[in-house]
Amino acid sequence: MSTLKVNNIGKTSGSTQDIMEGLAKAWINYKQASTFVTNDSFNISSVNDDGSGLADTNYTASFSNANYAAAGSAGRQSSVSATAYWTFPVRSTPVYTTSSTSWTSGYSIGTSSGLQALDCFLNIVSIHGDLA
């Protein structure tokens, strides 16, 4: 049995982050409530704050097509709440392209008619797909 030990791994073309399938090719942890703060991110060049509960993530390295998988979650500052908080991608307008995704965040009071946009205290999104 052999052991392979390396400090760096790469491929002959493209970028290191697209070597393995299944890894998140972009992600961000951000706060939108009060003031917009990016806590940490990967492959995110910038974020647009588009209004209450609305944001766009812009990618440093673009995706090869707009059929990538994007998912999000949200939370609030207090742990005591019967309200459900959410963040999810907007597929149609304004943006779901190879270089940017639009997100909407908010809360639900238990009915589909009770969905309200909200700048959440915690938003975490992850994007999986092939980079260009």
3-12 confidence digits (pLDDT tens)? 888 777 666 6
Coil, strand or helix at 31:
strand
**What does the pLDDT look like over 29-55, one tens digit per residue?**
999 988 899 999 999 999 999 889 999
By the 8 A CB rule, do 15 and 28 touch? no
Residue with the two structure tokens 């992850």: 126
Question: What is the C-alpha separation between 55 and 27, in angstroms, rounded?
Answer: 14
pTM (two decimals): 0.78
CB 45 within 8 A of CB 58: yes
